[in-house]
A = this chain, B = another copy of it.
């Protein structure tokens, strides 16, 4: 108990997007204060925080100053540099730990890490040159996915390679950065598990969500997922193993491919060491949302309940989807969430809505 940040304490959030905004709301319920560090003014998160500091995410001096003014520093995105986290740690406890970021922000390290835990991943190979790529294509076959090791999200930084002759062009397309090649996995559905890990190592699992992507961006998540009880157990087992091995503190999301009829039906695709879009349904479907449990975990509090009181289908409002806001606001069957972003741009996550129905499954 002695490590619990008492009410009135301050959480510092690196990142000003919608995840930071929803984390701020969760902190407000628990009597904690919030400061936001964002790289521009009028960010979604800063709109609901008493104080916001504006600075670059690589301005270590400024981030050190930010850390001085808060009790715990956390992140709403994973591509925070080790230097920035070290700077923040001079003034405050940092959670999740730097190690969780270091591994998950590098696709090669992440895949190796998961594999070493005895968990299935897509076949992969390290690719630094076009020559590496040609060799990897021979082993893994075509088509295959070439992905930069770092800074990829929402389908960015990746390209499908269809034949060995395309190797050079593909490397150019991703800017000749250090990369990995991934073999295609034949899957029937994508699922994810949001797990919270408390400071004392306790785990709390949300229900497995079934996800659909469009153009590399999550479009919907539904609970319950159409998978059986064994598979649900295994999906949670995998997420828990990963969170524990990373010595993670806070919420973490593991995206997996579900391969019907395979002996090891679940293949880990990606780890996000933070609250995740596929867990937004927990705001309306659970007593304690993923945002509340992230705040609880990093504040050293015990986790809140992760049980689901309703069925939920979360649908992202991407780009001009959000123009439907008035129609959605009039639909009693949905809970509407808008992120307060001034500019509507294609591919930008502007909000989401959750279809709620009585619990089953």
Chain A contact residues, CB within 8 Å of chain B: 1, 4, 6-8, 21, 24-25, 28-34, 46-50, 284, 287-288, 296, 301-302, 304-305, 309-310, 322, 325-326, 329-330, 332-333, 335-340, 342, 351, 356, 358
Contacts and interface: CB of A to CB of B under 8 A. Distances in A.
Contacts of A288: 335
Given A8-B342, A309-B310, A309-B358, 17 more contacts: A1-B326, A6-B325, A8-B340, A21-B28, A25-B25, A25-B28, A29-B336, A29-B337, A30-B337, A31-B325, A32-B340, A34-B48, A48-B49, A288-B335, A296-B329, A304-B335, A309-B356
Nearest to A46: B50
Contacts of A34: 47-48
A329 B302 contact: yes
Contacts of A302: 329-330
Among A24, A47, A310, A339, the most chain B Cβ lie within 10 Å of the Cβ of A47
Contacts of A284: 287
A302 B6 CA distance: 39
Contacts of A336: 29-30
Contacts of A338: 7, 29-31
A310 B21 CA distance: 26
A329 B8 CA distance: 15
Nearest to A327: B1
A30 B330 CA distance: 12
Contacts of A358: 309
A304 B328 CA distance: 10
Contacts of A21: 28
A10 to B, nearest CB: 10
A330 B310 CA distance: 23
Contacts of A32: 340
B47 A47 contact: no
A322 B325 CA distance: 39
A295 to B, nearest CB: 11
Contact of A48 (B24, B30, B330): B24
Nearest to A29: B337
A270 to B, nearest CB: 28
A5 B309 CA distance: 32
A358 B307 CA distance: 11
